[in-house]
Amino acid sequence: MNVPTMAEMMTQGKQPEVLFWVGCAGSFDDRAKKITKAFVKILNNANIDFAVLGAEESCTGDPAKRSGNEFLFQMQAMANIEVLNAYEVKKIVTACPHCFNTIKNEYPELGGNYEVVHHTQLLKDLLDTGKMTIEGGQFKGKKITFHDPCYLGRANDVYEAPRELIRKLDVELVEMKRCKVNGLCCGAGGAQMFKDAEKGDKEVNVLRTEDAIKVKPEIIATGCPFCNTMMTDGVKNKEKETEIEVMDIAEMIANAQDL
Amino acid sequence: MEYLPNIIFTLLAVASIGFFVKNVKKLKRNIFLGKDIDRNDRSKERWANMFRIALGQSKMVRRPVSGFLHIIVYVGFIIINIEVLEILLDGVLGTHRLFLPLLGDNVYGFLIGTFEVLAFLVFVSVVVFWIRRNIIKIKRFWNKEMTSWPKNDGNNILYFEMVLMSLFLIMNASDVHFQEINIGNPISQFLAPFFNSLSTESVHFVERTAWWIHICGIFVFLNYLYYSKHLHVLLAFPNTFYANLNSKGKFPNNPTVTKEVQTMMDPNADPYAMPEEPEGEPEKFGASDVTDLNWVQLMNAYTCTECGRCTSVCPANQTGKELSPRAIMMKTRDRLEEVGKNIDFNKGSFVDDGKQLLGEGYITQEEIWACTSCNACVEECPVNIDPLSIIMDMRQYLVMEQSAAPQELNSMMSNIENNGAPWPYNQMDRLNWKDEA
């Protein structure tokens, strides 16, 4: 796997077309690391000129801001912006909708102006420009539902890019009753990922998994490492892990391409 | 004596409009107890939003049944108000159906006929609304925050509308001359036969009584608005105009914090320099009371008509948590009213009452921490109310002023501070995945 860092690129006097912002989940979470690798394989396969920050990357500050710690958020943001601006980064792609939202919407005022895309948007672009082709492969004819990440969908109105990619896999895309603008949260946002839920009668991820189970999918597709964790746990809770798989769109495409 | 009715009517009209204006002034004063926020940019988009969402009801019809019925009531409300103009003029001038000779039988009949059909449709819709609330008991009308007053308020409005529409039709049905013209009475002609057995004097008495109760009912209803969730009929317009236009995921960056962080990170800053003396009181981070919120958030609270669509889509509420976005708005309004009354009572200045919006009797920390920031409530609101912004401001207060985050979030935040990730992994290991099997 070819994963150049910005520092390496710089010593060679090169400037990559796009920076892949891996994110904390993508760097450290065992499940999310598989998504990261799948995405890198696709980028390598399509000969995309990219680099990562590696050890120079740090949390965007999203969970701090959503927990109310504006100070910590801005410390993180400005430190990251300093690094990004030093490398003269123009375009950023990330597989995490939380990183995507924060860098895209909250960094500009603090001096960080970049073109920021979600990995499904970049992949759709590769498809549209012929830099990548998708064939159904092992997914052909399978019933797949897509869970909209809140920070991709409602927060930033990205609904179509992930769906177009899924359709290209020759699958049967079935929508849950609540989808797109009406999509139900997986329960992880707003820093809920890092704490126990308040007292209630159910977990949000279980409720969302029930939504998905109703349409009887073979795969629940997501575009967010946190949604992925929540839905995977939900499927386990419902003891459906032998019937339903939870996969990121990047993983599905990499698998279909036998990467 | 001949002019007594005119005089009584004029006095009534002036008194009710005067009282209404007085309350509107109080409403405005209360809303502007909130902090300043600039929402005068991008006026084209703002007008477009107001036309589409408030005037055009575009978000209402996302729920087709209530949306359709609401449009009938809304259109009826606006159009039938044209008739109120005639009623007001008749009342002041002592005339009867002033516009009839001016417009002629056909035009006048067409207008009144339209109003009659609308009045009938409004009546039916309002009855269906009542059934949905009280017989079918749709869940969002029975959540915990729907205590006796909010429930009664909802029903009172429906009763008002039922009575006003009935009186309008009875008024026309018992108007012998109007029935004789027989144009513009598509509904009232079916009610007219009920009065056949009565003497001419009695029918006239019925007509006058209906006329007077109808217009007095309108005066009362006008003044009921300020005390009711029904204020949305007016505030939906400014509320959609001044609503947030940015991506819903973009939360505002606090400029005071930006200044502080910039100074900290500035390599040229003199570390021994005396900090600048802050002017006035040091700024409070986040919100613990209504006066810490901005005026748009406070206007949101007065605009909320407690339909509960937000709460019905809230993931926390659906899974039995304490949080209800509607309750956040209702409590904000209640507290704002309390603060307003305090100011009135103390002749223009607020005297500390030991209470806060975030605290005993109002919003609890448990509610604030249950939010997933998913924006479903914001997306769902038919008039673009933003409960999430209040929740986030309160989290900011809890963390930055009180250090009162849940323990697990404190650990998450110290991880970010120490090693740049919400989990305790070494930042130097961020690229390890590259070489893992």
Same domain, B358 and B397: yes
The closest of B234, B245, B309 to B48, measured between CA atoms, is B245
Question: In the 8-state DSSP scheme, what is residue B36?
Answer: P
Q: How far is CA B373 from CA A60, B61, B309, B357, in A?
A: 17, 24, 16, 20
Q: What is the average pLDDT across B148-161?
A: 96
Same domain, B286 and B236: no
Nearest to B398 among A61, A68, A151 (CB): A68
Q: Let me know if residue B44 belongs to a domain.
A: no
Judge contact between A165 and A193, C-beta under 8 A. no
What is the structure's pLDDT at A203? 97
Chain B neighbors of A204, CB-CB under 8 A: 315-316, 318-319, 372
Judge contact between B28 and B338, C-beta under 8 A. no
Counting one residue from A and one from B, how many pairs have CB atoms under 8 Å apart? Answer: 218
B187: Cα separation from own chain's centroid: 33
In whole angstroms, give the CA distance from residue A72 to residue A64: 6
In whole angstroms, give the CA distance from residue B324 to residue A116: 33
Indicate if the pLDDT at residue B276 is higher than 70. Answer: no
Q: Let me know if residue B38 belongs to a domain.
A: no
How far A144 CA lies from chain B's nearest CA (Å)?
Answer: 23
CB–CB contact B371 A54 (8 Å): no
**Full DSSP string of A121-175:** HHHHHHHHTTS-----GGGTT-EEEEPPPTTTTTTT---HHHHHHHHTTT-EE--
Nearest to B285 among A70, A150, A193 (CB): A70
Mutate to test the interface with B, among A85, A99, A194 (most CBs of B within 10 A): A194
The torsion angle over the Cα atoms of residues B123, B129, B134 and B136, rounded to 10 degrees, is 120
Q: What is the average pLDDT across B315-325?
A: 98
Q: Let me know if residue B301 belongs to a domain.
A: yes
Same domain, B294 and B418: yes
Judge contact between A251 and A38, C-beta under 8 A. yes
Q: Domain range spanning residue B380?
A: 255-268+281-425
Chain B neighbors of A189, CB-CB under 8 A: 372-374
Domains in chain A with CATH codes? 6-125 (3.40.50.1860), 131-256 (3.40.50)
What is the structure's pLDDT at A1? 87
How far B382 CA lies from chain A's nearest CA (Å)?
Answer: 14
In whole angstroms, give the CA distance from residue B53 to residue B67: 12
Per-residue pLDDT reduced to its tens digit, B80-96: 888 899 999 999 999 99
Same domain, B321 and B185: no
Chain B nearest-CA residue for A203: B319
In whole angstroms, give the CA distance from residue B314 to residue B310: 6
Same domain, B20 and B90: yes
Same domain, B317 and B226: no
Chain A neighbors of B429, CB-CB under 8 A: 27-28, 55
In whole angstroms, give the CA distance from residue A251 to residue B126: 53
Q: What is the average pLDDT across B422-426?
A: 97
How far B388 CA lies from chain A's nearest CA (Å)?
Answer: 10
Judge contact between A221 and A245, C-beta under 8 A. no
**Number of residues assigned to chain A:** 259
Nearest to B427 among A58, A61, A191 (CB): A58
Same domain, B117 and B208: yes
Q: Which residues contact B166 (CB under 8 A, 6 or more apart)?
A: B123
Indicate if the pLDDT at residue B238 is higher than 80. Answer: yes
Judge contact between A96 and A201, C-beta under 8 A. no
* Angle, CA B401 vertex, CA B414 and CA B417 arms, to 5°: 15
What is the structure's pLDDT at A136? 75
Per-residue pLDDT reduced to its tens digit, B46-61: 999 999 999 999 999 9
Q: What is the average pLDDT across B282-296?
A: 94
The closest of B136, B125, B152 to B66, measured between CA atoms, is B125
Indicate if the pLDDT at residue B148 is higher than 80. Answer: yes
Same domain, B120 and B226: yes
Tell me the average confidence (pLDDT) per consecutive run of 10 residues in chain A, 259 residues long: 96 97 98 98 97 98 98 98 98 98 98 98 96 88 97 98 95 97 97 96 98 98 98 98 97 92
Q: Supply the mean pLDDT for chain B.
A: 95
Same domain, B99 and B219: yes
Q: Which residues contact A211 (CB under 8 A, 6 or more apart)?
A: A176, A177, A178, A184
Same domain, B144 and B20: yes
Chain A neighbors of B58, CB-CB under 8 A: none
What is the structure's pLDDT at B227? 96
- In this predicted complex, what is the ipTM? 0.96
Retrieve residue B356's tokens: 């806060």
Q: How far is CA A210 from CA A127, A186, A231, A238, B315, in A?
A: 33, 11, 10, 8, 13
Per-residue pLDDT reduced to its tens digit, B193-217: 999 899 999 999 999 999 999 999 9
What is the structure's pLDDT at B266? 83
Retrieve residue B323's tokens: 């949080």
Write down the H helix ranges in B273-375.
Answer: 295-303, 309-313, 315-318, 325-345, 365-369
Q: Let me know if residue B434 belongs to a domain.
A: no
Q: How far is CA B209 from CA B86, B194, B215, B347, in A?
A: 17, 16, 10, 42
Same domain, B343 and B390: yes
Q: Which of A103-107, A255-259, B21-25, B126-130 has the lowest mean pLDDT?
A: A255-259
Judge contact between A178 and A209, C-beta under 8 A. no
Judge contact between A84 and A210, C-beta under 8 A. no
In whole angstroms, give the CA distance from residue B109 to residue A206: 60
How far A141 CA lies from chain B's nearest CA (Å)?
Answer: 30
Pairing state of beta strands A219-222 and A245-248? Answer: parallel
As to burial, measured by CB atoms within 10 angstroms (0-12 exposed, 13-18 middle, 19+ buried), residue A2 is exposed
Per-residue pLDDT reduced to its tens digit, B339-370: 999 999 999 999 999 999 999 899 999 999 99
Q: Let me know if residue B247 belongs to a domain.
A: no
Phi-psi region of B302 (alpha: psi -120 to 50; beta: other; left: phi over 0): alpha
Pairing state of beta strands A143-146 and A115-118? Answer: unpaired
Q: Let me know if residue B56 belongs to a domain.
A: no
Indicate if the pLDDT at residue B278 is higher than 70. Answer: no
Using pLDDT thresholds of 50, 70 and 90, give the confidence band for residue B274. low
Retrieve residue B429's tokens: 């290991």
3-class secondary structure, A117:
strand
How far B236 CA lies from chain A's nearest CA (Å)?
Answer: 22
As to burial, measured by CB atoms within 10 angstroms (0-12 exposed, 13-18 middle, 19+ buried), residue B302 is buried
3-class secondary structure, A52:
strand
CB–CB contact A68 B260 (8 Å): no
The CATH code of the domain that includes B344 is 1.10.1060
Number of other residues whose CB lies within 10 A of the CB of residue A14: 12
Chain A neighbors of B321, CB-CB under 8 A: 197-200
The whole model's pTM is what? 0.95
Retrieve residue B413's tokens: 């935040």
Q: Let me know if residue B384 belongs to a domain.
A: yes
In sequence order, the β-bridge partners of residue A91 are A115
Chain A nearest-CA residue for B367: A198
Same domain, B293 and B233: no
* Angle, CA A233 vertex, CA A230 and CA A238 arms, to 5°: 125
Residue A2 φ then ψ, to 5°: -100, 105
Q: How many domains does chain B have?
A: 2
- Specify the amino acid at residue B233: V
How far A99 CA lies from chain B's nearest CA (Å)?
Answer: 11
Helix then strand then coil, % of chain A, to nearest 5? 50, 10, 40
Chain B neighbors of A78, CB-CB under 8 A: 261-262, 265
Q: Let me know if residue B289 belongs to a domain.
A: yes
